[in-house]
Structure 1
Amino acid sequence: MAQRLLQEATKAPARPRQRQTIGWPQALRRALPAAGYVVPPALALLLAGVVWELWVRIEETPVYIVPRPTVVLDRWFGDLGFFAKEGSVTLMEAMGGFALGSAVAIIAAIAMAHSRFVEKSFFPLAVLVKVTPIVAIAPLFAIWFGFGTMPKVLIAGLLAFFPVMVNGVVGFRSVNPGALDFLRSLRASPWEIFWHLRVPSALPYLFASFRIAIPLAVIGAVVAEWFSGQAGLGAVIIVAHSNLDMPTLFSAIVTLAIMGIVLTILTTVVERRLVFWHESTLAQ
């Protein structure tokens, strides 16, 4: 009986059933809200590109200083396979670092959320790592771990660690006191309280931190490639900068921007699937 009450009290609310409306096809109805998110930034990006193109043409700026957007796009589309290959290397390093950093951060957040002593002991160390410039750590990791994938993954993980840990501590502690008292009255075990109450409470905070940590992991992978990379977009940027090849450099930046946008969209989609019951998702 207690187990059944526990499950009913802690399960996430069911997804509200949408009304069946008569009118446009369902696919078109779904496309209209999506267009509201895509069209404004696309128009702003197009306007920025037009202004950039006109400014470079009017000022007659040399291509080795600032290339025109049309030149950059021509370079990018002309060697799309190359940028996709190098981008996949950076993506693998960034996602490996994000997974590693997030896993360690969540474990640390659980420990800190349950123990003030652990928080007081280890939180200052996490802050120390956070405030240390990544450009000072990357060369050391290249010396210690070589020029393979490992130093890039570790640097990406370091940057992803802190936001996930901080949000995780807040999330695991942000439980409903009434629900907590109710579970304790049912003699729920610490594991049941953690799984049925603390984890759902922490999910919105964790996904918010993921949207910050994923771009940071990409930045960490690129910075690490500057010092110990023979492949990846970071290495492409360094070589292009040395050769004053601005179209290639800007094309690498375009690839990184697309990568960041796609990863952020995927994170948001997963969040809406898993945390559909939270007010932060319902308000979107």
Structure 2
Amino acid sequence: MTPNAIAILRRHGPGLLLVLPALAAIGFLYAYPLLRSVIFAFLDTQGGVTLAHVSRALAFYGRDILFSIGVALASLALIAVVSITIAGYLTLGATPWAVALLRWLYRWPLFIPFIVAAQTARSFLSRNGLMNSVLMELGLLSPAAAQSLLDWRGLILTFAWKQVPFVTLLLAGAMASLDRATIEAARNLGAGRLRCLLGIVLPQVRPNLLVGLILSLVVIMSVLSVPMMIVAGNPTMMTAMMAHRVTYYGDYAVANALGLFSYLLTAFAAWLYLRTTLAREVRR
């Protein structure tokens, strides 16, 4: 080993030892399974390269792929709107007790596991669930008009309810760190709170919003318990179909091919974020 290599090792060795356990965990738990699933999606039983598994995944589960993309995009849109509203009121709200109550309430779903959230949604959104029962007791809904929301609507509401607190925390923290002089100047010139939120505050915290939405997309595309417990028929989320393919057929190849579409969707979202961020840095 050369003297330069020894000097570099002495200089950076302690730091490398500190990050080595984290790197090993990422490599073993995430990078290796990802690489393995991508490779085996294109290998046949003899080890040759094939597109048959991808073709079968598209033929069998094309509707589920489109359904998953639609549910994910609708959930992200709802998450964005609600998170911006809550974070904006926490930052610009003029009623102290309402701000304190909202700050105390909105974080609760953070500590609830997805499987519990799914079971709660089943009890709340079913035809004889709590929501319809309350509406019927109030005279706002007749028993004949009651319907179950345990379909794509239930998925969107459950994903949004679970992820809104996470995105709101990112946005509220970013909004709290902004210089309030520009906000106060706009208010003094007659701008309302909504205009300040959309025209001044939101453009400055857009990167934080994009990070929260991309991380939420990864969660939505990876959660199994919610689609399994809320949607009984087809189409459903790709995660449920992957589990079905493995559990009932032992077909890991098609399941891996189906997982490719989840990888592509999340990778595309990450690429959009990086492109937006780099474009912003270039303009600066």
Indicate the TM-score class for this superposition, using the shorter chain for normalisation. 0.5 to 0.7
Question: 1:51, CA displacement in angstroms?
Answer: 11
Find the counterpart in structure 2 of residue 83 from structure 1: 61
| Corresponding position: 1:121 with 2:101 | yes
- Measured in 2, the distance between the counterparts of 1:242 and 1:109 equals 42
* One-letter amino acid of the counterpart of residue 238, structure 1: A
Find the counterpart in structure 2 of residue 264 from structure 1: 270
Find the counterpart in structure 2 of residue 226 from structure 1: 228
Q: Do the aligned residues in 1 keep the contact of 2:117 with 2:162 (CA within 8 Å)? A: no
Q: Do the aligned residues in 2 keep the contact of 1:101 with 1:160 (CA within 8 Å)? A: yes
TM-score (norm: length of structure 1): 0.63
* One-letter amino acid of the counterpart of residue 139, structure 1: Q
| Corresponding position: 1:235 with 2:240 | yes
Match of 2:70 among 92, 95, 100: 92
Tell me which moved more, 259-268 or 96-105: 259-268
Question: 1:179, CA displacement in angstroms?
Answer: 3.6
* One-letter amino acid of the counterpart of residue 112, structure 2: T
- Measured in 2, the distance between the counterparts of 1:138 and 1:114 equals 33
- Measured in 2, the distance between the counterparts of 1:83 and 1:72 equals 18
Question: 1:178, CA displacement in angstroms?
Answer: 4.9
Find the counterpart in structure 2 of residue 135 from structure 1: 115
- Measured in 2, the distance between the counterparts of 1:130 and 1:188 equals 37
TM-score (norm: length of structure 2): 0.63
* One-letter amino acid of the counterpart of residue 266, structure 1: L
* 1:175 partner SS: coil
Match of 2:201 among 179, 191, 198: 198
Q: Do the aligned residues in 1 keep the contact of 2:54 with 2:254 (CA within 8 Å)? A: yes
Find the counterpart in structure 1 of residue 82 from structure 2: 104
Find the counterpart in structure 2 of residue 210 from structure 1: 213
Match of 1:246 among 246, 252, 255: 252
Match of 1:155 among 154, 158, 177: 158
Question: 1:135, CA displacement in angstroms?
Answer: 0.9
Count of residue pairs brought into register by the alignment: 221
Q: Do the aligned residues in 2 keep the contact of 1:113 with 1:172 (CA within 8 Å)? A: yes
Report the CA distance shift for 1:193/1:216 in structure 2 as closer, same or farther (over 3 A).
Answer: same
Question: 1:198, CA displacement in angstroms?
Answer: 1.8
CA RMSD of the aligned region, Å? 3.7
* 1:189 partner SS: coil
- Measured in 2, the distance between the counterparts of 1:168 and 1:81 equals 41
Give CA-to-partner distance per residue, 1:66-116, whole Å, 9 cap, x none: x89868953123442333321111111121122112211111111111245
Report the CA distance shift for 1:93/1:193 in structure 2 as closer, same or farther (over 3 A).
Answer: closer
Q: Do the aligned residues in 1 keep the contact of 2:57 with 2:254 (CA within 8 Å)? A: no
Give CA-to-partner distance per residue, 1:254-274, whole Å, 9 cap, x none: 2222222123333444x45xx
Report the CA distance shift for 1:52/1:183 in structure 2 as closer, same or farther (over 3 A).
Answer: closer
Consecutive unaligned residues of structure 1, counting only runs of 5 or more, are 1-43, 58-62
Q: Do the aligned residues in 2 keep the contact of 1:93 with 1:156 (CA within 8 Å)? A: no
Match of 2:171 among 168, 171, 176: 168
Q: Do the aligned residues in 2 keep the contact of 1:111 with 1:118 (CA within 8 Å)? A: no
Tell me which moved more, 200-209 or 148-157: 200-209
Q: Do the aligned residues in 1 keep the contact of 2:90 with 2:172 (CA within 8 Å)? A: yes
- Measured in 2, the distance between the counterparts of 1:51 and 1:81 equals 19
Report the CA distance shift for 1:159/1:69 in structure 2 as closer, same or farther (over 3 A).
Answer: farther
- Identity, in percent, stands at 12
Give CA-to-partner distance per residue, 1:99-156, whole Å, 9 cap, x none: 1122111111111112454443223333221110011121332343344212211122
